[in-house]
A and B are shown apart, each in its own frame.
Chain A
Amino acid sequence: MQVDKHHYVSSATNALTPAPQKYVYQQEVAKLIDTTICIGCKACQVACSEWNDYRPDVGHNVGVYDNPADLGPNAWTVMRYNEVEENGKLQWLIRKDGCMHCEKPGCQIACPVPGAIVQHANGIVDIVQDLCTGCGYCIAGCPFDVPKQNPIDKRVYKCNLCVDRVFAGQAPSCAKTCPTSAIMFGSKADMITRAEKRIAELKSRGFANAGLYDPEGVGGTHVMYVLHHADRPELYSDLPKNPTISPMVRFWKGAFKPLAAVGFIAMFAAAALHYIGVGPVAEDDEEEKKHD
């Protein structure tokens, strides 16, 4: 989804050729998902498909409530359900999965197309499908396994935090719909304050490890979770404990590019200097000809 001229960080650009710097002074936004009051009703999934106008194909029952079983080009958010039995107590840990809108987005770092993945000044990370070539580098770059390729148009899709609604002063459709207000939306600072209040309450009620999921490894996220067990995020259907951008992706998209460029320049220079220094190797042996 393209919202003209609002972005300030763009894929495949560098300090010499920066993206347009309009609307830089926006407040950072965040979506806060309180897993402790989520009832798993999937209204957010429905709202997302309605607002963003996609309809996934009817899938198969895989024996759990997760439906569809994974995120997809036509499923930008999915409820994940996990049953955890500890100390004779059963807990049903439900997490609304989707793009985390990282402050340092792995997808954007990996993307080779200028402007195909943009990060708005408010923190929203968005794929511009018009420019996407379908190379899938973003899928390799994402530490959360979120972007999904549509095999028909070959473009990659993911949650855009309802960027069109946000720029019109509205909350994302999932937040608007959530019947228990487990999905909240506002400035990132406000959402952190709210989360802290809720976490203090949870701690007073016996959840000693309650906490906020806003992982440092990706510079923090613009989608945050309140978790009862913040010390063990993997309980929530494999939410990564310390998500970071893979060193392989960082080298491939970082140091390796200038190294390769220097290699090319050195090679061209060596060839030119060699040729103008040594000159061509003649077809015939000149000395032998003289003796003949």
Chain B
Amino acid sequence: MTNQKDVVVRHPYPVRVAHWVTVLGFFFVTVSGLGFFFPSLHGLLGFLGTPQLAQFLHPVFGLVMVAGLIVLLFRNAPHCLPEKDDSKWFKHIPDILKGNEHHVVEVGHYNPGQKMLFWKIMGLTAIMLVSGLIAWRPYFAHLFPVPLLRLALLVHSMCGILMMFMIFVHIYMGFWYKGTLRGMTQGTVSRSWAKKHHPRWLRALATKGNKNT
């Protein structure tokens, strides 16, 4: 077992809960969404019971995801604001993809790629929330004109596919950077992980003092 002294808190308990609530919503909404988007994957709708039940549950899980993301928006937005030397990180993307991020840039709480992902997910979710409410049957869709409905359905599917691509990148990064995942499961990461990948964050913690919550 890792010594308490060798770890630092990466994500406090409320953030972890909000993240996994978002994951739960995202998982079911994606499985059923793919079933609606690709007719050949119609069988995926059976994952939520019957296709009719999937039709009912898809927007419900969408709202579960939105609920989780609202908490994450308020908790993590301060960590995801753009900074001066973010452009340096983007210039080094080829090195970063070779696994040399720690040699070329000093990252803070989150790296600029993570920050951008955060805002893209928030933006796409907002669009999907609005378009999803417009297309929600039988409750709201009949209140809107058919041309708007067509636009909403197209935009909803496009944003959904984009979101899946982004979440896939997010999952892959967590898998590629070893020692990252525990920051979202147990909430703590090793001090050496933080020193290597987020050195400016670790230094800021040292000056503020890290509270184990």
A residues lining the B interface (CB < 8 Å): 11-14, 17, 112-114, 131, 133-137, 139-140, 142, 145, 149, 151, 154, 246, 248-249, 251-252, 256-257, 260-261, 263-264, 267-268, 271, 274-275, 278-285, 288
- Inter-chain contact total with CB atoms closer than 8 Å: 121
Most buried by A among B52, B158, B168: B52
B137 → chain A closest CB, angstroms: 4
Q: Is the CB of A133 within 8 A of B176?
A: no
B110 at interface, CB cutoff 8 A: no
- Contact flags (1/0) for B34-66 with A, using CB distance below 8 Å? 011111101001000001101100000000000
A59 → chain B closest CB, angstroms: 16
In the bound complex, what is the Cα–Cα distance between A142 and B193 (angstroms)? 56
Beyond the given pairs A274-B97, A281-B99, A285-B102, 10 more chain A to chain B contacts, judged by CB atoms under 8 angstroms and listed by A's residue number, are: A14-B40, A112-B39, A133-B51, A140-B135, A149-B138, A249-B150, A260-B37, A260-B38, A283-B178, A284-B190
Point out the residue from B42, B99, B147, B178 that lies within 8 Å of A112, measured CB to CB: B42
Majority DSSP secondary structure for residues of B touching A: helix
B200 at interface, CB cutoff 8 A: no
Q: Is the CB of B179 within 8 A of A283?
A: yes
B187 → chain A closest CB, angstroms: 16
Q: Is the CB of A283 within 8 A of B192?
A: yes
Q: Is the CB of B158 within 8 A of A256?
A: yes
In the bound complex, what is the Cα–Cα distance between A39 and B162 (angstroms)? 54
Q: Which residues of B contact A288 (CB under 8 A)?
A: 196
Q: Is the CB of B37 within 8 A of A134?
A: no
B residues lining the A interface (CB < 8 Å): 35-40, 42, 45, 51-52, 54-55, 97-99, 101-102, 135, 137-138, 141-142, 146-147, 149-151, 153-154, 157-158, 161, 164-165, 168-169, 172, 175-179, 190, 192-193, 195-196
B83 → chain A closest CB, angstroms: 22
Q: Is the CB of A133 within 8 A of B45?
A: yes
Point out the residue from A133, A263, A280, A283 that lies within 8 Å of B55, measured CB to CB: A133
Closest to A251 in B: B154
B128 → chain A closest CB, angstroms: 15
In the bound complex, what is the Cα–Cα distance between A220 and B176 (angstroms)? 56
Pick 18 A–B contacts, CB within 8 A, sort by A: A112-B39, A134-B137, A135-B36, A135-B55, A135-B137, A154-B138, A251-B154, A261-B38, A267-B165, A267-B168, A280-B99, A281-B99, A281-B101, A283-B178, A283-B190, A283-B193, A285-B196, A288-B196
Nearest first, the 9 A-B pairs at minimum CB distance are A12-B39, A283-B179, A133-B55, A136-B137, A284-B192, A248-B150, A252-B154, A151-B138, A285-B196
Q: Is the CB of B39 within 8 A of A11?
A: yes
In the bound complex, what is the Cα–Cα distance between A149 and B140 (angstroms)? 12
In the bound complex, what is the Cα–Cα distance between A140 and B154 (angstroms)? 10
In the bound complex, what is the Cα–Cα distance between A245 and B32 (angstroms)? 26
Q: Is the CB of A140 within 8 A of B178?
A: no
Closest to B98 in A: A278
A251 → chain B closest CB, angstroms: 7
Point out the residue from B39, B52, B169, B178 that lies within 8 Å of A280, measured CB to CB: B178
Q: Is the CB of B38 within 8 A of A257?
A: yes
Q: Which residues of A contact B138 (CB under 8 A)?
A: 134, 136, 149, 151, 154
